Amino acid sequence: MLAGRRLRPVDRGAASAAVRASSPGLLRLEVVAGEPEVLVIGGGFGGLHVVRALSKGPAHVTIVDRHNFHTFQPLLYQVATAGLEPADVAYPIRTIFGRRSNVGFRHGAVAQLDLEGRRATLLDGAVIAFDHVVVACGAAANFFGIEGAERYATPLYTLADARRLRDRLLLTLEDAEEQPGIPAKPVNVVIVGGGPTGIETAGAVTELLNVCLRRDHLRIDPASAKVILLDVAPRLLGGFPGSASDYAAKVLTRRGVDVRLEASVASVTSDAVILASGERIASSVVVWAAGVTATGTIAASVRGAGPSGRIAVAPDLSIPGHANAWAVGDAAAIPDGKGSTCPQLAPVAIQSGRHCGRQILRAIEGRDTEPFTYHDKGIMATIGRNAAVAKVPGAPLVKGRLGWLAWMSLHLFYLVGFRNRIRVFVNWTWRYFDWPSGPRLIMSDAETAD
């Protein structure tokens, strides 16, 4: 282990150039006395909390992310449905750690990870050497190999996805409007996946349609603007108690969503979703909210990655066979102590990130590491204005306005950046009182037109 010494990659230009120019046999990295170098791949919840735990310790940390910002994924659906601006749910990673002299940021995507050689190669060819590495690269949308899904459906995983979906929804509405001599076209928004993301998106799309028709006076027949929510399971919100599923289905149906359960999607085309039963559902926009996978991410390239690409970590979150390599959050299959793995949720990423940072410090100090224990504080999902479900272990299900207030408070609490919290709070308040608002801006044609 190189603990107690530091490879000098932040002068990383020089180290990287040496690595790129040399054959493996002649590889030469400059080693200087100093703190151990920790590389954290990914600035999501997991990565940020690893860095926070390490930032006051005897280590130099480099956080590398393909985006220069952290994304608050739980509110992406509000960006996609023109409730919030992209900047409201993202925060520059450099700004988060601006005051920490032992933390550096590198903008770039890790393309190769060599755990034995202790170096990561970025897409631009640069090489970063490390003493410890944490894989916190998250996951990606899972299309389950369904024909046409990746091509024609829009996932909701990144900020770019959310912006793309917003444009698609608004363009579809503009395109559907009645014109002189041309009748209005029907609008069918099909959402695949009845988990929290699917139901939140379905609720928010109905609100968007309502605002566009009522406030923006789009000439579209309300009866021909439909939101269809599909799930293969017999109920919505599979991870919640049955009463939460019933409540969500009831509220969505009352708000005009066509909820179809036990509907298995066989393929997606440019204008329809085809079910396994053979039924064809016409679609103007298809939102893919059917689940996530780590397959295709850098995590899946690590030996020991499981079937969905997640790295099966040891109880202390280290990668088996590598005392200096760790994985956290969505990228890791973390034992839950009950024979299964922890869910891919923000609290798991936060807690595992924090624990991992502490274990690296223990390893640096030569102390034994400790197993991770997940403290389940509950789950919640909103269906829209005044309607949400919240389940805390051991307590009864909270639903309705109380659940919605709890959902809003918790999301404001976890949102990164004080300015973002204020902006989101003001936006929500503004919308609640029904003032015409919201960034209903189509940016894709504006960006290419000039």
Residues that bind ligand FAD (CB under 6 A): 41-47, 64-67, 71, 73-74, 76, 109-110, 136-138, 156-157, 196-197, 297-298, 329-331, 344-347, 349
Q: How far is the CB of 227 from ligand FAD (least distance, A)?
A: 17
What are all long-range contacts of 277-283, with beta carbons under 8 Å and residues at least 24 apart?
Answer: 281/188, 281/190, 281/228, 281/230, 282/186, 282/188, 283/188, 283/189, 283/190
47 or 304: CB nearest ligand FAD: 47
191 or 364: CB nearest ligand FAD: 191
Q: Is position 447 annotated as part of the catalytic site? A: no
Phi, psi of 5 (to 5 degrees): -130, 160
Q: What is the DSSP string of 401-446?
A: HHHHHHHHHHHHHHSS-HHHHHHHHHHHHHHHTT-S-S-----HHH
- Point out which residues pair with 273 in neighbouring strands: 268, 281
137 or 209: CB nearest ligand FAD: 137
57 or 195: CB nearest ligand FAD: 195
Q: How far is the CB of 4 from ligand FAD (least distance, A)?
A: 27
The dihedral region occupied by 250, where left means phi > 0, alpha psi between -120 and 50, and beta the remainder, is alpha
- Please give the radius of gyration of the chain, using alpha carbons only, rounded to the nearest integer: 23
CA angle 351–407–255, rounded 5-degree value: 135
65 or 316: CB nearest ligand FAD: 65
Q: How far is the CB of 69 from ligand FAD (least distance, A)?
A: 8
Q: How far is the CB of 77 from ligand FAD (least distance, A)?
A: 6
Distances (CA, A) of 221 to 135, 181, 212, 256, 291: 49, 15, 12, 14, 33
Q: How far is the CB of 396 from ligand FAD (least distance, A)?
A: 20
Q: How far is the CB of 276 from ligand FAD (least distance, A)?
A: 25
Q: How far is the CB of 110 from ligand FAD (least distance, A)?
A: 4
In 3-state terms, what secondary structure has residue 325?
strand
Cα 52 to chain centroid, rounded: 20
Catalytic residue among 35, 174, 177, 200: 200
Largest CA distance in the chain: 78
SS (H, E, C) 361-382: HHHHCCCCCCCCCCCCCCEEEE
47 or 57: CB nearest ligand FAD: 47
58 or 306: CB nearest ligand FAD: 306
Number of H helices, E strands in the chain: 12, 28
Q: Is 270 exposed, middle or buried (0-12, 13-18, 19+ CB in 10 A)?
A: exposed
Residues labelled catalytic: 200
